[in-house]
Amino acid sequence: MKKINKMINFSLMLIIPGVLYTYYYPWLYNKINEKTRRSRPLNSDNIDLVNSILIFVVTWLFFVVLTLVLTSLK
């Protein structure tokens, strides 16, 4: 049961930023851009959810490896 909870927490740790990056940030950007009118609105159709999640997976793996390397040097 403890392993399942860890897997769920880990999955959510990677999925939630992907969802935020795909849907929330473009929406927020467009709301701010309506007021400032500095550029064209973002289209959330151009951002893929799976690719967004993979971005966070790759970034997480990079920092894990970097931490392991730096820890092993000490």
pLDDT at 14: 83
- Residue 1 pLDDT > 70, yes or no? yes
pLDDT at 18: 86
55-71: average pLDDT: 91
Using left for φ > 0, alpha for ψ between -120 and 50, and beta otherwise, residue 24 falls in alpha
User: Based on the structure, what is the number of domains in the chain?
Assistant: 1
- The residue assigned the tokens 């500095």 is 38
pLDDT in tens, 10-49: 888 888 888 888 888 888 989 999 999 888 887 766 777 7
pLDDT at 31: 92
54-64: average pLDDT: 89
Residue ranges making up the domain that contains 28: 2-73
